[in-house]
Structures are given as structure tokens and as C-alpha cells.
Amino acid sequence: MKEINITYLLARLPIGMSMLGHGLVRVPKLAVFSEWMVNSFSKSALPEFMVLPFSYLLPVLELITGLLLLSGLFTRFALLLGAAIMLALIFGSCMIEQWENVFIQVLYGVYFAILYRYLNFNKIALDQLIIKK
């Protein structure tokens, strides 16, 4: 096992755990989370018919992204999904002027981009079992 592959694994696991954690705590209380999010956007330019479905979808997508990244299964897709989630969250945070959240979400986005750039080092992953060489 090459050191760079272990390094990639050590970089992939924390972001995967973070995404999994976000999803795990929200999915069991989905209605409460949804109500909180809809209320947070009540004075924004985003209409409720857009916020409501996203509020139910977000925790599930976070959970899926986390599981995929932790296992290293469909890693390319998981990284793109994670980046797309961050873009949506950045847009939402801008709409309600939560600038401190935007910075954190940008960092997550950069993290996803770096992992995507070095995806060729993702050798300690379930992806390796399904890749045909």
C-alpha cells in the first residue's frame, strides 16, 4: 500500500463522516428539520415551494454522500454530489445572508474539488473492486 493512497483515504474519511453525521442526525427528525429550514427562509426571496422539497431531500443526500465516501463506493459520483450540495447550500445561505456559513460551505466545496482532482489515488476503496482494468 502506497503512502499517497493512505493519505487520500485519510482525507476522504473525515468529509465522509461529516456528511454522514449531518444526514444521520437530521433524517430521524426530518419533519422538524424541514420546518426549521422553511422558517429560516420565510423572509427570503426563495418561495416555500422550492425550500420545502429541498429541506426533505438534503438530509437524505447528505447521508448517501457520507456513506459513499466512507466506503469509497462510487467516489467520483459522491464527490460531485457533495460539491452540488455545497453549491445549493451556498446559494441558500446567501439568500438568508448567513455569510459565516457561506465561508464554511466554500471550504467544503474546495475540499470536494481537491479530492476529485486526486481521485486517481483513491486505491483504498470499494471502487477498486468494481473497476475493471
- Dist CA 52 CA 69 (whole Å): 26
pLDDT the model gives residue 1: 81
Contact 131, 76 (CB under 8 A): no
SS3 47: coil
Question: Which pLDDT tens digit goes with each residue over 84-101?
Answer: 999 999 999 999 999 999
Q: Look at residue 7 and tell me whether its pLDDT is greater than 80.
A: yes
Q: Look at residue 133 and tell me whether its pLDDT is greater than 70.
A: no
Question: Residue ranges of the domains in the chain?
Answer: 3-128
pLDDT the model gives residue 132: 66
Taking CA 34 as the corner, what is the angle to CA 90 and CA 24, rounded to the nearest 5 degrees?
80
pLDDT the model gives residue 121: 98
Average model confidence (pLDDT) across the chain: 97
Phi-psi region of 97 (alpha: psi -120 to 50; beta: other; left: phi over 0): left
- Dist CA 32 CA 1 (whole Å): 45
pLDDT the model gives residue 131: 80
CA distances from 19 to 40, 53, 120 (A): 21, 19, 22
C-alpha cell at 40: 429560516
Question: Which pLDDT tens digit goes with each residue over 34-57?
Answer: 999 999 999 999 999 999 999 999
Q: What is the pTM of this model?
A: 0.94
- Dist CA 115 CA 94 (whole Å): 25
